Structure 1
Amino acid sequence: MLFIMGFAGLITAICALWPNPMTDAIARQMGHVSWNGLTQHDTIFPLFLFIAGVSFPFSLAKQRAGGICERRILFKVIRRGMTLIVLGMIYNGLFRFDFASLRVASVLGRIGLAWMFASLLYMYCKVRTRAVFAAVVLIGYSLLMYLVVAPDAPDGTDPLSVAGNIAGWVDRQWLPGTFACGSFDPEGLLSTLPAIVSALFGMFTGEFLLRKRSSLSGKRIALCMALAAVAITVIGIIWNCWIPINKKLWSSSFTCVVTGYSLGLFALFYYLIDVRGWKRWTFFFRVIGLNSITIYLAQRIVGFGGIANFFFGGAASHCPEAIARVISNAGYVAICWLFLYFLYRKSTFLKV
């Protein structure tokens, strides 16, 4: 979650202090790939969606144990999904009231839709049905992307290209507003289907924890998750031979690889925090995680850059350019975190 508040810029600035092949490679991980491929920065969005999925089985079990009726739970799930869609549109400039240029699709909207539909599947379908759904969606989406070219693309166009992919054509036909990539939107309609599977994988993980934590040791649970992470990552790498890993298309190979990455990280931190009990170091990150959507939205509204420049700009102006960039980026991250810490101390959390 640290990367949603400018940490990538800080890492890039630090790498620029010692230019060499290793730091150049690290710096490249702090940005998105243009089309096929994967960087660390490409994993942030699906990791957030995966974690949102992990938490839902616990939330649902708590609500049901508290006597909340199914209709009320259903209403809350749908309300949360719709709220995230609206917040995403606000992030994209809804209050400018320039609807002709408004981008309707958004990161928050993708999270809202994917999480909502995955939650409904979790609530009303058995685990086998959900597993079949996930497999059918990933295989079917791959076949669709591999075999079907956008009807408005020139003859001979690669179906997995920017111009030729069917997901872009679906957006051009039915998604209102403007798109992030001209004639194509990475958070469009069709690619939401495999994103639902990403959220479902998180819910499979949460369900596994919920059912097995009383019968298996913490070490065994962490090991099972780690092995599953390796297996699904290998599946994604093999799938990449036919369907490239592509975040903008949310390809099936991308879904598997980033799920494996997310599950592997989750297994590691579950072992360190829940099994070994190493919790003190997590406070810094808990402050961010408890208000992650808040800081994501706030950066669009609040001038954190100006505030950081007010406090750190003077020191930066007396330093060489490379060091000044480090100070400026570190100041930005610090101001964002202190803002969240203030909210934490006041027990103020944005609950969607």
Structure 2
Amino acid sequence: MPDEPIISDPFINTDDINKAPVKLPRLLSLDALRGFDMFWIMSGEGVVHALAKATNWPVLLWMSGQLHHTEWNGITFYDMIFPLFLFIAGVSMPYSIGNKLTRAGISSANYLPFAEKKKIYGPMIRRTLILIFLGMVVNGLFKWNGYEHTRFASVLGRIGLAWFFAGLIYLNFNLKQQIIWFAALLLGYWAAMMLIPVPGYGAGVLTMNGSLESYIDRLLLPGRLHDKVHDPEGILSTIPAIGTALLGIFTGQFLKYDSIKWPMWKKGIALFIGGLLLIAVGSLWNLTFPINKRLWTSSFVLFVGGWSMVLLSVFYFIIDVAGYRKWAFPFVLIGVNSIIIYLAAEGMIDFEYTANYLFGGLIQYASQSWQQVWLAISIVVTQLVMLWFLYRNKIFLKI
């Protein structure tokens, strides 16, 4: 059985924490899972949509349908991409500061002296602010069209804020207290959404217009909302998103736990079973508090958190326990530079133009119905070549 490795984290530069540039082994399954997650939004969805249109095969049509967000209640695979990334960021945190705990001879981050925590808080605040700013850039900040037309909430902003506050809980409370925080966040959000009345709608209304979350967005969120009356990355729904990051932190602490009673294979099984239990609890809660990605409901946190644990357990078993790693290399290329490819795919690089320039001469000989398929595949190839070049030259963006 291989030694249990330390993982990468695109949000934490370990040099900031350890004060020495140490080359650390990686938990490859987490890099691969992060890459698998990002693959679908960078270009993978385009391949599936094109194949579904070209072939009309039922399985591909179903997959294509899963690569769209639900309009309101319910869930698709596409709805899980964002929270899975946040979950992975949470898993990374216990590893990222693990060396500092080991050198201090303590078992829990909340026992760190305040002077040592201050060295961690600064980089955390800086990275959160950078993610908020980058999220606004993705939303079109540099295409300034007035304050009222600027969307300040964003995917990256939510990741930064939820990761930051989950990190504060991890650094200042022991595991039992962290679990209490997790339960309080989910139950408190549920109680607020169901019991606090919204003017003109009343209490417990979970529509886009009438929900408390939407009302808070209209009341407090500056600039333009994503859906005019509601923002899926709004203020109130960031609270349960902290719970998503905390689930990742719990998972990271468990995987990092060193005991002969818990070898890697047993951890993988426990993670899989724990994920199934969370899926079951989330499904039951869905009966009274619907699974809803736009509201980031508490049932959504548990349901998607459960699937995140199941997916991680599968990748962990195959890659880190069984040692089958070569197949995951394309996902690793994406996972170790996830921020770069996210920003690039969101409009900073026109991959379609580049792919057309490189492969358009060949693609034109394909039948009309298959030209979009080959174009979508060529976009994937172009992106992977760029990521391979960055990987080969050890260029990694760590915010």
Are 2:81 and 1:44 equivalent residues in the alignment? yes
Are 2:180 and 1:132 equivalent residues in the alignment? yes
Secondary structure in structure 2 of the residue aligned to 1:8 = helix
- Whichever residue aligns with residue 220 of structure 2, its letter is W
1:268 corresponds to = 314
1:88 corresponds to = 135
Instruction: Give 1:62 deviation, angstroms.
Output: 2.1
Q: Equivalents in 1 of 2:359, 2:134: separation in Å?
A: 31
Q: Equivalents in 2 of 1:157, 1:124: separation in Å?
A: 34
Contact 2:255 2:267 in 1 (8 A): yes
- Counting matched residue pairs gives 350
Instruction: Give 1:22 deviation, angstroms.
Output: 3.0
Q: Equivalents in 1 of 2:196, 2:314: separation in Å?
A: 40
Instruction: Give 1:165 deviation, angstroms.
Output: 0.6
2:257 corresponds to = 211
Contact 1:244 1:251 in 2 (8 A): yes
Q: Equivalents in 2 of 1:22, 1:285: separation in Å?
A: 23
Q: Deviations over 1:206-244 (max 9, x none)?
A: 001112455412221111111110111100000010111
Secondary structure in structure 2 of the residue aligned to 1:351 = coil
| Worse-matched range after superposition: 308-317 or 237-246 | 308-317
2:240 corresponds to = 194
C-alpha spacing 1:76/1:159, structure 2 compared with 1 (3 Å) = same
Q: Equivalents in 1 of 2:143, 2:58: separation in Å?
A: 44
Contact 1:225 1:263 in 2 (8 A): yes
Alignment of 1:158-237 (within 5 A): 159-212=205-258, 214-237=260-283
Root-mean-square deviation (Å): 1.7
1:74 corresponds to = 121
Q: Equivalents in 1 of 2:284, 2:53: separation in Å?
A: 35
1:29 corresponds to = 66
Secondary structure in structure 2 of the residue aligned to 1:100 = helix
- Whichever residue aligns with residue 14 of structure 1, its letter is L
Q: Equivalents in 2 of 1:160, 1:15: separation in Å?
A: 34
Which residues of structure 2 form unaligned runs of 5+? 1-37, 105-114
Of structures 1 and 2, the one with the larger relative CO (CA 8 A, separation 6+) is 2
What is the percent sequence identity of the aligned residues? 40
Secondary structure in structure 2 of the residue aligned to 1:94 = coil
- Whichever residue aligns with residue 301 of structure 1, its letter is M
Which residues of structure 1 form unaligned runs of 5+? none
Q: Equivalents in 2 of 1:17, 1:26: separation in Å?
A: 14
Instruction: Give 1:181 deviation, angstroms.
Output: 1.1
Select which of 183, 196, 199 maps to 1:148. Answer: 196
TM-score by length of 2: 0.84
Q: Equivalents in 1 of 2:247, 2:166: separation in Å?
A: 9
Contact 2:268 2:317 in 1 (8 A): yes
Instruction: Give 1:167 deviation, angstroms.
Output: 0.6
- Whichever residue aligns with residue 141 of structure 2, its letter is L
TM-score by length of 1: 0.95
2:46 corresponds to = 9
C-alpha spacing 1:129/1:80, structure 2 compared with 1 (3 Å) = same
- Whichever residue aligns with residue 41 of structure 1, its letter is Y
- Whichever residue aligns with residue 253 of structure 1, its letter is S
Q: Equivalents in 1 of 2:241, 2:338: separation in Å?
A: 20
Structure 1: which 4+ aligned runs deviate by more than 6 Å?
A: none
| Worse-matched range after superposition: 67-76 or 101-110 | 67-76
Q: Equivalents in 2 of 1:130, 1:253: separation in Å?
A: 19
Instruction: Give 1:199 deviation, angstroms.
Output: 0.2
- Whichever residue aligns with residue 131 of structure 1, its letter is I
Select which of 97, 117, 125 maps to 1:60. Answer: 97
- Whichever residue aligns with residue 196 of structure 2, its letter is V
